[in-house]
Amino acid sequence: MMGLKDHTALVTGGGSGLGQAMATRLASEGIPVTVADLNLDTAQATVDTIVAAGGRASAVAGDVSKQDDVTAIFAHGVKTYGDCTLLCNNAGHAEQKPFLEITVEDFDRMLGVHMRGMFMCAQAALPPMLEKGDGVIINVASQLGHLGAAGMVHYASAKAGIAGMTRSMAREFSRTGVRIFAVAPGATRTPIFDTISDEWLAAKAAELPLGRFAEPEEVSETVAFLASPLAAAFVGQTMNPNCGDYMA
Ligand SMILES: NC(=O)c1ccc[n+]([C@@H]2O[C@H](COP(=O)([O-])OP(=O)(O)OC[C@H]3O[C@@H](n4cnc5c(N)ncnc54)[C@H](O)[C@@H]3O)[C@@H](O)[C@H]2O)c1
């Protein structure tokens, strides 16, 4: 147990992949988790798994790139479990396209879900955290934000922006009791792989120092650590569970 017992968590994109693993891992600490996703059925499936294991969780549908949906997601969480004190800003999607084929709409959608979505969720979560002088926000970036990614310029740009937003927020709120981090996973086996070409994945697997992709549960352990008092001396860092792809 990581000492999270006073937290109330909200995980966006909790119906699949990394978000599902984060919600399940946090619930295993005995804390209630609101699972938000575009897809209510998959969010509910995560909740069912958590409840079957003896945990507490509640599902809500919403698109984090839309202000009204963000408001509704947080209203559901507050009504069900009280103010969110642990936000995992995880919802996202990936897309591979040559730079000259990325439309302005593709670009706006990528930044809208990743950067604007995380920004709006953080704005929704922060006021009660600041009032309590306690809270944790974890923004899910990507190693591609460090490395850059040919064929995924809009995705890598959004993820680099998330790391910068995280550092800036951490500087602004570091003395309030609210702790803010980013986690930048490397390639991790989730349904997001369906959007990435087999060639890209094979090339990436071949160059990884560990010689394998990460599993969602390995990333969710990083989240549990950052959320815990064990990470009290970390401020604004981007943690990199990535099988050695980017070492910093
Ligand atoms: N899997 C990887 O290799 C990898 C690596 C680095 C970063 N990431 C990041 O991790 C996060 C989770 O990715 P994943 O691999 O679990 O993907 P995934 O496709 O398995 O899950 C993403 C979830 O987010 C939800 N979602 C997407 N857009 C949303 C929106 N606008 N509002 C609410 N929910 C939305 C989807 O419905 C889905 O349930 C993403 O931010 C992704 O960019 C993934």
The answer to whether residue 130 is domain-embedded is yes
List active site positions.
155
The answer to whether residue 210 is domain-embedded is yes
Model pLDDT, residue 1: 83
155 CA closest ligand 1 atom index:
43
CA of 131 to the centre of ligand 1 (A): 30
Q: Into how many domains does the chain fold?
A: 1
Q: In angstroms, what CA-CA distances link 74 with 23, 61, 93, 124?
A: 16, 11, 21, 7
The answer to whether residue 247 is domain-embedded is no
The answer to whether residue 180 is domain-embedded is yes
The answer to whether residue 248 is domain-embedded is no
pTM over 0.85: yes
14 CA closest ligand 1 atom index:
39
The answer to whether residue 245 is domain-embedded is no
Contact 240, 226 (CB under 8 A): no
- What CATH number does residue 200 fall under? 3.40.50.720
Enclosing domain of residue 90:
9-239
- For ligand 1, say whether the CB of 245 is within 6 Å of any of its atoms: no
Closest Cα to atom 20 of ligand 1: 17
Model pLDDT, residue 172: 98
The answer to whether residue 36 is domain-embedded is yes
- For ligand 1, say whether the CB of 3 is within 6 Å of any of its atoms: no
CA of 114 to the centre of ligand 1 (A): 9
Model pLDDT, residue 2: 85
DSSP string, the chain: --S-TT--EEEETTTSHHHHHHHHHHHTTT--EEEEES-HHHHHHHHHHHHHTT--EEEEE--TTSHHHHHHHHHHHHHHHSS-SEEEE---------GGG--HHHHHHHHIIIIIHHHHHHHHHHHHHHHHT-EEEEEE--THHHH--TT-HHHHHHHHHHHHHHHHHHHHHTTTTEEEEEE---SBSSGGGGGS-HHHHHHHHHH-TTSSPBPHHHHHHHHHHHHSGGGTT--SPEE--STTSS--
What does the pLDDT profile of the chain (248 residues) look like in tens digits? 888 989 999 999 999 999 999 999 999 999 999 999 999 999 999 999 999 999 999 999 999 999 999 999 999 999 999 999 999 999 999 999 999 999 999 999 999 999 999 999 999 999 999 999 999 999 999 999 999 999 999 999 999 999 999 999 999 999 999 999 999 999 999 999 999 999 999 999 999 999 999 999 999 999 999 999 999 999 999 999 999 999 98
Which of 143, 106, 176 is CA-nearest to residue 246?
143
The answer to whether residue 3 is domain-embedded is no
